[in-house]
């Protein structure tokens, strides 16, 4: 499917280690399939930890999408774990798949690796409250609004079209735009996709 999604013209594929069944060994094959189909493999990791963020990048993920980011410190930690010096402190190994098992020039690798996409999921009211400070953290490419977790945080679990949820989302989209950060979300229908796209949401899943 990942390979076919690329041939079909999708821009990226989210390989889900937060809610999906994917383990590290399977992840490598899925990333390879994405590469065959010419689609960017984004890995949704389960948490903010060195292992969860570093391993997918070592395997060649084009980016990481990190759940439940609720403050600037979380955002900074993600950037630290996803990037090598000077932007971060990611564990250094150049014998990994992402560096063609050392065939790549090591300095080119460290530089290119720092261009991997960093996507933060803001999906709780604490993150909404702290959105201004989150958006000022350097190294963030996309803020992804998780409508389902957000709906739960607002006490209307699952009702993602409730104005409580959509109004909060619109405010987040506006803030991200002001900071020049791309914004994304998850949609259940083509209609919702078109609606959010008109409002400027560009990373639609």
- Residue whose entry in the numeric block shows the structure tokens 């999604």: 5
Q: 186 touches which of Mg ion, ligand 3PY, none (CB within 5 to 8 A by kind)?
A: ligand 3PY
CB 144, CB 135: distance < 8 Å: no
The answer to whether 19 is a known catalytic residue is: yes
* Pattern 122-141, Mg ion, x by CB under 5 A: -x------------------
Work out whether 147 is an interface residue with Mg ion (CB under 5 A).
no
Q: Is 74 in the site for Mg ion (CB under 5 A)?
A: no
Minimum distance from residue 106 beta carbon to Mg ion (Å): 36
> Nearest to residue 146, comparing CAs of 117, 177, 176, 125?
125
User: Is the CB of residue 196 less than 8 Å from the CB of residue 147?
Assistant: no
Question: Choosing from 3, 10, 11, 19, which is the catalytic residue?
Answer: 19
Please pick, from the candidates 35, 141, 149, 159, the single residue that binds ligand 3PY as defined by CB under 6 A.
149
Which residues make up the interface to Mg ion (CB under 5 A)?
A: 123, 146, 149
């Amino acid at each position: 499917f990942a390979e076919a999604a690329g041939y079909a013209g999708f821009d990226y594929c989210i390989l889900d280690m937060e809610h999906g069944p994917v383990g590290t060994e399977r992840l490598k094959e899925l990333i390879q399939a994405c590469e065959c189909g010419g689609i960017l493999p984004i890995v949704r990791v389960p948490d903010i930890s060195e292992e969860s963020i570093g391993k997918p990048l070592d395997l060649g993920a084009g980016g990481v999408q990190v759940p439940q980011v609720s403050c600037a410190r979380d955002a900074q930690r993600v950037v630290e774990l996803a990037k090598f010096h000077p932007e971060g402190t990611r564990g250094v190994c150049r014998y990994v798949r992402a560096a063609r098992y050392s065939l790549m020039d090591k300095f080119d690798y460290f530089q290119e690796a720092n261009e991997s996409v960093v996507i933060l999921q803001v999906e709780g009211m604490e993150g909404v409250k702290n959105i201004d400070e989150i958006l000022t953290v350097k190294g963030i490419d996309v803020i992804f609004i998780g409508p389902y977790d957000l709906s739960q945080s607002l006490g209307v679990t699952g009702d993602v079209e409730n104005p409580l949820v959509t109004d909060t989302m619109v405010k987040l989209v506006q803030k991200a735009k002001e900071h020049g950060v791309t914004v994304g979300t998850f949609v259940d229908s083509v209609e919702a996709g078109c609606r959010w796209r008109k409002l400027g949401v560009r990373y639609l899943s």
